[in-house]
Amino acid sequence: MGKYHDLAEKIVANVGGKDNIRSLTHCITRLRFKLKDEGKANEEALKNMDGVVTVMKSGGQFQVVIGNHVPLVYADVLDVAGITGEASEEDEEEKGNIFNRLIDVISSCFQPFLGALSACGMMKGFNALFLYFKLYETGSGTDLFLTAAGDCIFYFMPIVIGLTAARKFKVSEFTGIAIGAALVYPTIQATALGAGKPIMTLFANTILESPVFIKVFGLPIIANNYTSSVVPIILVVWFASHIQKLAKKVIPELVQTFLVPLFTILISVFFGFLIIGPVITFLTNILGSGFTALYEFSPVLMSVVVGFFWQVLVIFGLHWSLIPLAMINLSTLGFDTILAASFAASFAQTAVVFAMFFKLKDKKLKELCIPAVISGLFGVTEPAIYGLTLPKKKPFLISMIGAGIGGLITGLFGAKSFIMGGLGAFGFVSHIDTANNDVSSMITQFIAVGVAMVFSFVVTMLFWKDDEVTEKTEVQNEMGVRKEIVTSPVQGNMMPLETAKDEAFAQGALGKGVVIHPTIGEVVAPFDGTVMTLFPTKHAIGLISDNGLELLIHIGLDTVQLDGKYFEAHVEQGAKVKRGDKLVSFDIEAIEAAGFSVETPVIVTNTADYLDIIESDKQEDVCNSDELLTVLV
């Protein structure tokens, strides 16, 4: 039950009940209903309801004005009404290439449990440290306890991500947990099934050769190990979200409580094992053959490639393509150079995070850096990757380059590992040739790690800048009052806010501000700050100044219905801007010809945070350099 469940129930009841709702979307402040019969809605009850600012009817939509927390109310209304709604303007699929979108999805799935992930990583590291110094024996009760406590979240990663991915893709949370639990069920893992005899082999004598140990509904299932994996569970839950939507449409509401989860779990898990397992196996086999060919062509080049891509392979669970090759080398040659090439990767990642500690502006992320560094030094880099470098993208790339340089050094000097030893700092001793009492490979790894770490740290410090907004700071003058000037973002005729044609803006329900009737179709930044919200339709943009002032610039009235036509954005969401930078351009004549007003409210949405907001007394044409609002703190 959400925070606004009670309010959602009242809203649904007063728009005529869930059967009267044809569809529902939301914009930055409003629930936008399309009702079957607007006559069934009780407008007065809604207007007088706590939590509702006002009610508007425009463009065939019944609009309930809520405020900035409308996404939370929207989610609860969907739950109460038992509908899926339509893609809201803020929830439309983010544009960009599929790799960037996948990174964003992975990062958002890890964000809720980063604290626990870091804590478990530290436990794993300290346990390895204590074992190394023989404070207790391997297999002792203390070792088993700390291993269980430290490994739990890593081993059962699909269950945890099943929960967070369910929230991301709007699947029932317990359905997501159940799917994750199915993926890590012990007897269905490849290691368990591999103990038996295959019933058949697919693609025999090819690089896609795959033994089959079980059939489900007569179809062969290619086994894989899903414990500690990340991408498979995200893909399965994403697939489950579509199954759940379909199930809710076709299954009678009376029995949806148990039949929707039943079919969602059954179908998604089945297709997960049927498709995802084989895909990962095929990719692993292909990569294994590719790395073998690359090694035969140039061991040095192979070392660079392994070092550079190692962290990416781990994310997708494809590093298993190299493990068998390394084990074969160890058993036949007595040493291995493949895994030796990846050794510097965790240290490069750790060095990047250490540099980020000095440059991050977000205090919560900054607090994660030290635990991530500690666990990273012991070879546990998940907190660093998923919590810090991957979401920021550039630091992750820097760590890849640093790891590639480390791989280059190991390849040039022929560094070898002689055992499948410990991780991180405890892995150095794995490069000692005890048979010949030769430590040259270990010395090479010290050099490779040192160079990779220095490179990664220095490059991050010099070339990475955190674009996140810092927490608001107040610099007071002698009178205890700070003021911030907002210049006009639009050139045109300025009017008092109460003259706005839109009642919600005119009443000041969304905050104080002014209205501008544009004469030039261009919006520029009214202060130095960050683009916090840029609608896909480009008709509205939300900014936050470097001092924390939040400003909404809403170009036209009901122009959301143009779906971006006649608008062009010159910045992206999250971009840092300077006063005067061009943000959005729009075609005034075309918008008006389409029947829409270009009247542009400029609103301070966090009005309550300030002592006063003083409008310019210039009731005439304003230019972009003119002072529009003076905000007092």
Beta carbons within 10 angstroms of residue 514's beta carbon: 25
Chain centre distance of CA 235:
14
Rounded to the nearest 5 degrees, what angle is found at the Cα of 12, between the Cα atoms of 9 and 17? 120
Distance CA 388, CA 372 (A): 9
- DSSP states along 122-148: HHHHHHHHHHHTTSS-TTSHHHHHHHH
> Where do the DSSP E strands lie in 104-258?
200-202, 210-212, 214-216, 219-221
Rounded to the nearest 5 degrees, what angle is found at the Cα of 138, between the Cα atoms of 136 and 139? 110
Whether 191 and 224 have beta carbons less than 8 Å apart is answered as no
Residue 228, classified by CB atoms within 10 Å of its CB into exposed (0-12), middle (13-18) or buried (19+), is middle
Closest CA to 292 of 331, 327, 342, 338: 338
Which member of 5, 69, 554, 570 is catalytic?
Answer: 554
Which member of 26, 27, 109, 319 is catalytic?
Answer: 27
Whether 67 and 53 have beta carbons less than 8 Å apart is answered as yes
**91: Cβ–Cβ under 8 A, 6 or more apart, which residues?**
71
* 431 carries an active-site annotation: no
Beta carbons within 10 angstroms of residue 593's beta carbon: 10
* 554 carries an active-site annotation: yes
Residue appearing with tokens 């340089």: 405
Output the six-digit token pair for 414.
């022929």
515: phi > 0 → left, psi -120 to 50 → alpha, else beta; which?
Answer: beta
3 state DSSP class of 301: helix
C-alpha dist (Å) from residue 124 to 319, 350, 367, 390? 21, 16, 19, 22
Q: How many residues are there in the chain? A: 633
| b/e burial code for range 398-409 (CB count within 10 A of at least 16 → b) | bbbbbbbbbbbb
3 state DSSP class of 41: coil
What does DSSP say about strands 567-569 and 540-545: parallel, antiparallel, or unpaired? Answer: unpaired
Residues designated as active site: 27, 554
